[in-house]
Amino acid sequence: MAGTMVIVSASLVQAQPAAAKPDPIRALQAQFVAGQGVKFKTVQQVRVKGGHGSVTQEIGVIQFGAKGAVASDLTKKVRYDKGFFDDSKKDEREMRKSLEAPGRVISLPKAAYMQGRWAGEGLPEGKSWVRKRPIPAEPEGIIISVFEPSTVKALIARADSVRGGVVKGSTTSAKMAALSPVFRKQYGPGGKSESGQISKITYAFSLSKEGLVTRLRVTMRMPVPGGSIVDHVSDTRLYNWGAKVSVAAPRADQVIDEKDLKR
The whole-angstrom separation of Cα 230 and Cα 171 is 17
pLDDT number for residue 18: 53
3-class state of residue 102 by DSSP: coil
pLDDT number for residue 1: 47
Per-residue pLDDT of the chain (263 residues; tens, 9 = 90+): 455 544 445 554 555 555 567 899 999 999 999 999 999 999 999 998 878 889 999 999 999 999 999 999 999 999 988 777 776 676 666 766 777 888 999 999 999 999 998 887 788 999 999 999 999 999 989 999 999 999 999 999 999 999 999 999 999 999 999 999 999 998 988 888 877 889 999 999 999 999 999 999 999 999 888 778 999 999 999 999 999 999 999 999 999 999 988 76
The whole-angstrom separation of Cα 115 and Cα 129 is 5
The whole-angstrom separation of Cα 101 and Cα 89 is 20
The whole-angstrom separation of Cα 16 and Cα 226 is 63
The whole-angstrom separation of Cα 34 and Cα 119 is 29
> 258 phi and psi, to 5 degrees?
-55, -40
pLDDT number for residue 16: 53
- 6, exposed or middle or buried, with CB in 10 Å at 0-12, 13-18, 19+? exposed
The whole-angstrom separation of Cα 143 and Cα 182 is 9
Q: Pinpoint the alpha helices (H) of 32-165.
A: 90-97, 149-157
3-class state of residue 161 by DSSP: strand
Domain parsing of the chain, residue ranges:
22-262
- Which residues, including other chains, have CB under 8 Å from residue 187's CB and lie 6 or more apart? 173, 176, 177
The CATH code belonging to domain 22-262 is 2.50.20
pLDDT number for residue 101: 83
